[in-house]
Amino acid sequence: MENTKVGNYRWTICSLVFFATTINYLDRQVISLLKPQLEKEFNWSESDYSNIVIAFTLAYALGMLGVGRVIDKIGTKLGYAFSLILWSIAAMLHALATSTFSFVAYRALLGVSESGNFPAAIKTVAEWFPKKERALATGIFNSGTNIGAIIAPIVVPWIAINYSWQMAFIATGAVGLVWLIFWFTMYEIPAKHKKLSQAEYDYILSDNKEEEVVDGKEEEPKISWLKLLTFKQTWAFIMGKFLTDGIWWFFLFWLPAFLIAEYGLVGMQVSFPIVVVYTMTCFGSILGGWLPLWFVKSKGWTIVRARKTSMFIYALFPLMVIFSQQAGSYNMWYAVIIIGIAASAHQAWSANIFTTVSDMFPKSSIGSVIGMGGMAGGFGGMAVAKTAGLLFDHYKALGQIETGYYIMFLVCGTAYLIAWFIMFRMLVPNMTPIKNI
CATH of domain 14-192+235-427: 1.20.1250.20
User: 217 in helix, strand or coil?
Assistant: strand
pLDDT category, 336, cuts 50, 70, 90?
very high
CA torsion sign, 127 to 132 to 138 to 141?
negative
- Residues in contact with 369: Cβ distance below 8 Å, sequence separation at least 6, in sequence order: 68, 228, 234, 237, 357, 361
- More confidently predicted of 233 and 122: 233
CB 351 within 8 A of CB 372: no
HSE, side-chain direction, 13 A CA sphere, residue 397: 8
Tens digits of residue pLDDT in 360-410? 888 778 778 888 888 898 889 888 888 888 888 888 888 888 888 899 999
- Residues in contact with 120: Cβ distance below 8 Å, sequence separation at least 6, in sequence order: 17, 71, 76, 79, 80, 83, 367
Whole-angstrom Cα distance, residue 24 to residue 178?
Answer: 13
Q: 422: which DSSP letter?
A: I
Backbone φ, ψ for residue 302 (5° rounding) = -75, 160
Tell me, what's the pLDDT at 167?
Answer: 94
The pLDDT of residue 208 is above 80: no
Q: What is the mean pLDDT of residues 67-92?
A: 87
Exposure letters 137-172 (e unless 16+ CB within 10 A, then b): bbbbbbbbbbbbbbbbbebbbebbeeeebbebbbbb
Task: Name the residue type at position 99.
Answer: S
Domain ranges of the chain: 14-192+235-427
Q: What is the mean pLDDT of residues 227-241?
A: 93
